[in-house]
Amino acid sequence: MNRFFREIAPAVLALSSCCAGAGAAGQDASRAPHVNAPEGVIPRMPGDGAGAFATGRYRNLFAEEGKSPEEIRAKIDGAFQQLFHGDGQWERVYFETGANANGPLAYVTDWANNDARTEGMSYGMMIAVQMDKKREFDALWNWSNTYMLITDPKNPNVGYFAWSMYTDGTPRATGPAPDGEEYYAMALLFAARRWGNGKGLYDYQAQAEKILRGMRHHPVLTGTGPFRIHPEDPPFVYDESKFHSPNKTDKLRAEAKLADELRAQGKTPPPPPPARPSNAAYTVTAGPMLEEEHSMVRFVPDVGHGFTDASYHLPAFYELFARWGPKEDREYWAKAADVSRELFKRVTGPKTGLSPERNNFDMTSMPDWNGGEMPFSYDSWRTVSNWSVDYSWWRKDAGEVVLSDRIQSFLAGQGIGTFADQYTLAGKPLSTRHSTGMVAATTVGGLAATRGANEKAFVEELWRTPIPAGEQRYFDGMLYLMSLLHCSGEFRIVEGR
């Protein structure tokens, strides 16, 4: 921890204690820390911090601004109904698609790209377990295992989930993205405590532990592609006509406009995504998703890709993995939580609080496409929510208050209803689009921010923002609904009934 944070920490801790008392409206103060704790939940300890895990109290930012319990419940239920069960063409991202021997199947789709991603599937499961929607949870988990779980032993990523699949269950990628595995594991641990464990696929605790063990202990394997997801599949071959979804016309127009603007400024537009695997042979070596030496999640498990993504760092979850996950890895996860808290302070812009999309394991910056600084972009929206939920649940690092104050102040100064969705870390806009998902995630920053004008402005902005619809409803919508749950104090550590 650098000198700045050491000097400000005592004052911030005193302030946060005052805010905790002032923000009690709408909190659940009735649950004692030990009530109904299921088998395997260890007693509270001095290292458990002073947040919701220790106290059972969750701030309700909407109640603090005068919203009634009925209004808040209607807001959350309305968003869930639209995004999970609304009009299929314009509103929802959740689609049920038949059944198999394990029960109903369903996916969450990135409508603009016509695919299902482990990110969205695991977000959908987390929303479902938080809202006690077991059918939706089980259907998403079933689809994930049926189509996304890599079972071909010749694929070096065997045991992980392919990060992107077409909605017909055919692959769009043959490797994983660790943020999906992290949310899968946490959602499953919550499910075990909310509904109890079933058999096989629905033994939630065993399934979570399997994922967590794989993340750290996956063997280093090398294979030559093209690869398969399942042994019986044909090799994955990139299909140009299938990859370009007919649903993303607005996005393509916006990207073309941005490219033209950058060229007019004498700059080089970002390149297209890397070419997907073709039928040409290529070699991949994959190992654990966790970097052992630095106690960090990797960007991808491919050996040689030595960097991370701050938005993948979930210290609030890691603390629970250290209590509920495999016993042999609990010390690792506890250390990873502390490392993530330090990373947030080291990599964010010192005046803006904006985080880069990627950085090196030593917490130094990485170059972007043009050799400049890695920007704050789409992944980065989530980082403020990550550190703020950590503060809410654990309250172990007063520096997270400073970071939330910093990013909320910067973006409020850019215009609460107009700020761009991509920036340099110093605060130069790199887009003209204003995104609901970024508004939502930054509003969650209020769980750690000092109460005041900026925190209130974000809460009011999220409250009046409509539920995302149309082509871009996937990422915006998932962040919107999860943020409603966070800001209302309804996104909780599920410890049992």
pLDDT in tens, 103-141: 999 999 999 999 999 999 999 999 999 999 999 999 999
**pLDDT computed for residue 37 by the predictor:** 34
Find the mean pLDDT for residues 350-365: 96
DSSP string across 367-406: B-TTSSBPPB-GGGGGHHHHHHHHHHHH---THHHHHHHH
Task: From the candidates 110, 379, 455, 471, give the one annotated as an active-site residue.
Answer: 379
CB within 8 Å of 191: residues ≥ 6 apart: 125, 129, 137, 204
Domain-embedded: residue 419:
yes
Domain-embedded: residue 55:
yes
Find the mean pLDDT for residues 365-392: 93
Confidence of residue 41 (pLDDT cuts 50, 70, 90): very low
**pLDDT computed for residue 259 by the predictor:** 83
Count Cβ neighbours within 10 Å for each residue of 232-247 and write b for 16 or more, e otherwise. ebeebeeeeeeeebeb
Domain-embedded: residue 47:
yes
Q: Please tell me what DSSP assigns to residue 244.
A: S
Task: Kindly state the percentage of the chain with pLDDT values over 90.
Answer: 78
Structure-token pair, residue 302: 């491919």
Is 179 among the residues known to form the active site?
no
Confidence of residue 347 (pLDDT cuts 50, 70, 90): very high
Is 209 among the residues known to form the active site?
no
The radius of gyration computed from the CA coordinates of the chain, to the nearest angstrom, equals: 22
Task: From the candidates 119, 291, 309, 455, give the one annotated as an active-site residue.
Answer: 119
pLDDT tens digit sequence for 82-91: 999 999 999 9
Beta bridge mates, 455:
none
CB within 8 Å of 251: residues ≥ 6 apart: 112, 471, 472
Indicate the range of 62-66, 215-219, 274-278 predicted with least confidence: 274-278
Structure-token pair, residue 389: 């939920």
Strands 115-117 and 290-291: unpaired
332-337's contacts with Cβ under 8 Å and 24+ in sequence apart are 332/216, 332/290, 332/295, 334/47, 335/295, 336/290, 336/295, 336/296, 336/297, 337/390, 337/394, 337/396
Contact 299, 305 (CB under 8 A): yes
Number of domains composing the chain: 1
Inter-CA distances, 21 with 29, 119, 464, Å: 11, 35, 27
Residue 433: φ, ψ to 5° = -80, 140
Range of the domain at 172: 3-487
**Does the pLDDT at position 196 exceed 80?**
yes
**pLDDT computed for residue 135 by the predictor:** 98
Domain-embedded: residue 52:
yes
Closest CA to 495 of 6, 90, 56, 135: 56
Inter-CA distances, 475 with 55, 109, 112, 199, 286, Å: 32, 10, 10, 32, 28
Alpha-helix runs per DSSP H in 152-234? 178-195, 204-217
CATH number assigned to the domain comprising residue 154: 1.50.10.10
Q: What is the mean pLDDT of the chain?
A: 88
Rounded CA-CA distance 311/424 in Å is 16
For the chain, the maximum distance between any two Cα atoms, rounded to a whole number of angstroms, is 63
Domain-embedded: residue 152:
yes
Domain-embedded: residue 496:
no
pLDDT tens digit sequence for 5-20: 323 333 333 333 333 3
Rounded CA-CA distance 481/37 in Å is 27
